[in-house]
A and B are shown apart, each in its own frame.
Chain A
Amino acid sequence: MSKQCNSFIKECNTHGKECNTHGKECNSHVNEFNNQVNDRDLFTDDFFTNQENKKLILSGAAAVARGAFQAGAGMVLTYPGSPVVETFELLASEKSPLKKSSEIVINESVALHKALGFSMSRGRSLVIMKHVGLNVSADPAHYAGYLGVKGGMVILVGSDAGAKCSTGEFDCRFYSLHTHLPIIEPSDFQQALDYTVKAFKLSEKVGLPIMIFLPSSLCYGMGTVTTGPVKKRDYFQSQGCHFEKSRKYTNVGPNAVKSHQILLQKIQRLSISAPFYAFQNIIPETNLIITSGVYRDFVIESLKILNLQDRISIYCPGLTYPIEVPEFMNAVNSSGCKNMLFVEELEGFLEMQMCHILMKSSSSMKSSSIDLKGSGSGQMSIKGKEYFPAWGALGITDVKEGIISWFNDLLGISTPVLTDKSGPKLLPVMREGTFCPGCPHRAFFYSLNSLLKTGDIIGGDIGCSSLPPHYSDWLTCMNSGTSIAAGVASAVHSSVESKQKVVSLIGDSTLFHSGIQTLIDAVQKDSEQVCFILDNSWTAMTGHQQTNSSKRDLQGKTINGSIDIMKLLKAINVKKVSSVDPIDVLQMKRTVLKHFDIPGFSCVIVEHECLLQNRRRVKNLTGNSAKNSLAPWESTYQIVQDRCVKCNECYSILNCPAIYKDDQGDIRIDSSVCKSCGVCHTICPNNSIVRIKKHD
């Protein structure tokens, strides 16, 4: 290491990871400094520690939360959505200094609007949503660039290529092509923290909200991070939060055009500055791989495995919209590359942008022209989606195989198709989503399905009710159940002979998110459908956040301002409405049949608290004492084998995970899984399921 590097050691001690901006040498010195101290002593469990250079074990989502804390974020807003729920939960937790200013908002559009208002007034705000939430907040997102911000505003978007916890895998980065909101993509857990801090500063520098794009693999991964300095909590008070009036906020006619022009100028300036240090390993006279986010390490490791690390350059920008043109062109020219490969998931966001830049800049490149179709002498070949599918997430194996195929094609070698000659293997069985044992939704669907005929139509909704995918005839976004059902009902009932019933589902959280408008429209048009509102009192799917109608918290206290759904429906003129507990299977069936006979639009509130939350509250209030014979976890159900005729009603139709078949084919109940809801006992036609104490 040179003397010059030694001179940076002091800065590294002070600034820590910021010295990444000075180059590789300082990365090494940062490590040497950190390793002089006993690693074990550096670890802390205190997420909100004010100490620098402490180590925390965090997921990617949590690392962003830590970054927001360090940056002095003043307001945190979200509508819950996997994979970024944890970011909010940490910042809203009991120990968080941001607890009081962290809010679950009714939907992502309101959340983004609210954050915008806060940051227009010089406060630092963080909005958290999953990728489909950006669809909901697209309207305000388009104006965010026009309005601009004075306090830093960061929008954390959790993507989900592979749709592991979503109903779609849209590459929401493409929104930035028209919202012009800059995007930062961390490649590891430390960057998730550091880039969040930087994002707030960048946001204030350019006067625009900044998006941090975090894939589910990084959100849910875990790694070690090193803490940095924490901005004082009274940051926004000391800066003087206030709203300055400005004509530019009124976007009508020429003002809107002017706002658009200013926005594009900001993006242009950003694209020629270099606020983010990209990872690059440029080797002269080599080919170039361009990637971003988590795929940086996939590429690095794949090249090592293939022993190509000295033959292929890598460029991985941290800012993926707008592309930093001088830095990118420098990477292209320094590598002297004739062949370029884009390693990215989905539709190729980087490939599209960078191809555009290359085509515009071709006169400044070493290669005389760009050949987008193939490579030839003096021409550059650019590939990407030819080797990586535009759907699904990429594993490291996919990346490695794509690189192999590309490299072989460059060399004119055909890539062998590997055949597995080792004989038949067992392959994993997909585990379809299902309800927890004791979930009231299972009882509801049991009753509903027993009364629907083939051809009857169920419109599904996002939430726990969507878990067994075959229960609904469609499942897309929030509120798709009732909305699409209105159109389907109009179509199928246009024929007087049609006897198809149309039912729709909506969860209590979705009702408030975006369902009320649909219900107002449906009741006014008297849409021919029965809408079941599945009210389990919590946004259960994403970790049991309170809804606007949650009645009691886990300590048993009444929640102020809780909205009564029945009163709400009456207020919007839904006159044909019932309320029923689905665990009472007989009453549930009667209610369903009654509403099937009601013409026009009607609602049924299917009301039973999520069992998991109910149990947690009971344990909080009564303690988990074995002496508490009233505690529901002290009982279970058992199948009396002599009476069981193996009709499969409980095993296949009710489909409770606690009920299984043993090696002899007898149906039994696993008492460690059973939550003692009693529905199986109710539905058993032979009375062969009985309740017993767990200790019996």
Chain B
Amino acid sequence: MGGQGVSWLSTIIRKATGLKYGSFTGSDNRGGAQRFGHVSSIIRFNTENNSANLMGIAIDIPDGQADFVISLEGSEALNFNSKISSDTRVFINSYLLAPTNIRREDKDFFKLPDLERHYRGLTQHVMISDYNKMAIDSTGAVVNANIFMLAHFLHNCSGLFELFDFENIIGKKRFEILNIAYNKAFV
């Protein structure tokens, strides 16, 4: 959602992708930035190097072809239901925020067990954690939740990226947090 650092996270993954694999493409939905609206980024790249020319790779992901989905709010991955296949690795933050339209009408919002059941119905590889709590416990700041999600992704990305791919991208302080998250939180 807007305000959780989705754009920041996607930017650094893109930088790492560009440096490692030469090129990438993708699109963003930024309509709800800063205002708790839906914000998402799609990143597509070819793992074969020398991929300077990505012509023919759409900025959108075809159905069932997402390799990874990282959802900083627990229900936001529902927007990519059709992109998830049984092989997709899905990282879900257990933090849930009911939108104001739900609150206004005092309706019920999703519950985490229901979401978990739903995601596990789509794919075998579901990782749900309270990244907000991890960030607060380790760093005192919930804004670092996206760094903890990145660390978890690095542990489960089938070698696509390594920790040090991000060393010169995210700044010294944030890399220290990433280091801690990578070496302690998800070992």
- Compute the total of residue contacts between A and B using a CB distance below 8 Å: 179
Q: Which of A189, A300, A431, A651 contacts B99 (CB 8 A)?
A: A431
B34 in contact (CB, < 8 A) = yes
Return B1 CB to nearest CB of chain A, in Å: 7
In the complex, the answer to whether A434 meets B26 with C-beta atoms within 8 Å is no
Contact between B34 and A429, CB atoms less than 8 A apart: no
State which of B20, B31, B62 has its C-beta within 8 Å of the C-beta of A301: B62
B134-159 to A contact mask, C-beta < 8 Å, 1/0: 00000000110000000000000000
Q: How distant is the Cα of A422 from the Cα of B123 in the complex, in angstroms?
A: 13
**B48-56, B170-178, B179-187 - the one binding chain A:** B48-56
Q: Which of B28, B49, B99, B106 contacts A220 (CB 8 A)?
A: B28
Knowing A35-B50, A188-B55, say if A468 contacts B100 (CB, 8 Å).
yes
If A188-B54, A672-B142 touch, does A221 touch B25 (CB 8 Å cutoff)?
yes
Is A31 close to B, CB under 8 A? Answer: yes
Least CB distance, A419 to chain B, in whole angstroms = 15
In whole angstroms, what is the CA distance A648 to B57 when docked? 49
Contacts of A400 in B (CB 8 A): 62
Task: Name A78-98 residues within 8 Å CB distance of B.
Answer: 82-83
Question: Are B35's CB and A435's CB within 8 A?
Answer: yes
Are A55 and B18 interface neighbours, CB within 8 A?
A: yes
- Given the interface pairs A297-B58, A657-B97, the reply to whether A218 lies near B38 with Cβ below 8 Å is no
State whether A297 touches B29 (Cβ < 8 A): no
| Chain B residue at minimum C-beta to C-beta distance from A83 | B30
B18 touches A57 (CB 8 A): yes
Q: Which residue of the partner chain B has the closest CB to A297?
A: B58
Which single member of B22, B35, B42, B63 contacts A397 (CB below 8 Å)?
A: B63
Given A57-B15, A434-B99, A31 and B52 touching (CB < 8 A)? Answer: yes
In the bound complex, residues from chain B placing their C-beta under 8 Å from that of A300 are 55-56, 58
* Interface flags, A293-325, vs B, CB<8A=1, else 0: 010111011101100000000000000000000
Contact A31 B100 (CB under 8 A): no
Interface string of B1-17 (1 = CB under 8 A from A): 10000000011001100
A686 close to chain B: CB less than 8 A: no
Given contacts A301-B58, A396-B60, contact A221 B53 (CB under 8 A): no
A302-B57 Cα distance, complex, nearest whole Å = 10
The verdict on A571 contacting chain B, using a C-beta distance below 8 Å, is: no
Taking a contact as CB atoms under 8 Å apart, the answer to whether A31 and B63 are in contact is no
Residues of A383-437 at the interface with B, using a CB-CB cut-off of 8 Å, are 395-397, 400, 422-423, 425-436
B128 close to chain A: CB less than 8 A: no
Contact A430 B101 (CB under 8 A): yes
Residues of A within 8 A of B30 (CB): 82-83, 164-165, 220
> Is the beta-carbon distance between B59 and A660 smaller than 8 angstroms?
no
List the B side residues contacting A222 at CB < 8 Å.
Answer: 10-11, 14, 24-26, 28, 41, 43
The answer, among B1, B18, B37, B58, for a CB contact under 8 Å with A298, is: B58
* Interface: B75 (CB within 8 A): yes
| A contact residues around B93 at 8 Å (CB) | none
A656 CA / B8 CA spacing, docked (Å):
25
Partner of A425, one of B25, B27, B54, B81: B81
CB <8 Å contact, B118 and A426: yes
Q: Name the interface size band of chain B.
A: 35 or more
Is the beta-carbon distance between B62 and A396 smaller than 8 angstroms?
A: yes
Contacts of A305 in B (CB 8 A): 62
Mask, A195-231, CB within 8 Å of B = 1, is 0000000000000000000000110111110100000
Is B115's CB within 8 Å of the partner chain A? yes
Give B144 Cβ to nearest chain A Cβ, in Å.
11
Of the candidates A55, A217, A648, A660, the one having the most CB atoms from chain B within 10 angstroms of its own CB is A217
Is there a chain A Cβ closer than 8 Å to B76's Cβ? yes
Write the B98-140 contact mask toward A (1 if CB under 8 angstroms, else 0). Answer: 1111111110011000110010010000000000000000000
- Known contacts being A297-B56, A300-B56, A652-B106, is A660 close to B98, with CB within 8 Å? yes
Contacts of A294 in B (CB 8 A): 58-59
Name the distance in Å between B43's Cβ and chain A's nearest Cβ: 8
- Are B75 and A428 within 8 A (Cβ)? yes
Q: Which of A298, A304, A397, A434 is in CB contact (< 8 Å) with B100?
A: A434
A224 to B15, CA, bound (A): 9
List the A residue with the shortest CB-CB distance to B118.
A426
The verdict on A121 contacting chain B, using a C-beta distance below 8 Å, is no
Cα distance A363–B41 in the bound complex, in angstroms: 49
27 A-B pairs in the complex with CB atoms less than 8 angstroms apart: A27-B53, A40-B20, A43-B18, A57-B11, A218-B27, A220-B29, A221-B26, A222-B28, A224-B18, A224-B52, A297-B55, A297-B58, A301-B56, A302-B62, A426-B78, A426-B110, A429-B78, A429-B99, A429-B110, A430-B38, A431-B38, A433-B35, A434-B100, A436-B34, A655-B103, A660-B103, A661-B103
Spell out B's residues near A (CB within 8 Å).
1, 10-11, 14-15, 18-20, 22-32, 34-38, 41-43, 49-50, 52-63, 75-76, 78-79, 81-82, 97-106, 109-110, 114-115, 118, 121, 142-143
Q: Which residues of A contact B (CB under 8 A)?
A: 27, 31, 34-35, 39-40, 43, 55, 57, 59, 82-83, 164-165, 187-189, 217-218, 220-224, 226, 279, 294, 296-298, 300-302, 304-305, 395-397, 400, 422-423, 425-436, 467-468, 612, 648, 651-652, 655, 657, 659-661, 672
Q: 3 closest Cβ contacts across the A-B interface?
A: A221-B27, A428-B78, A432-B101
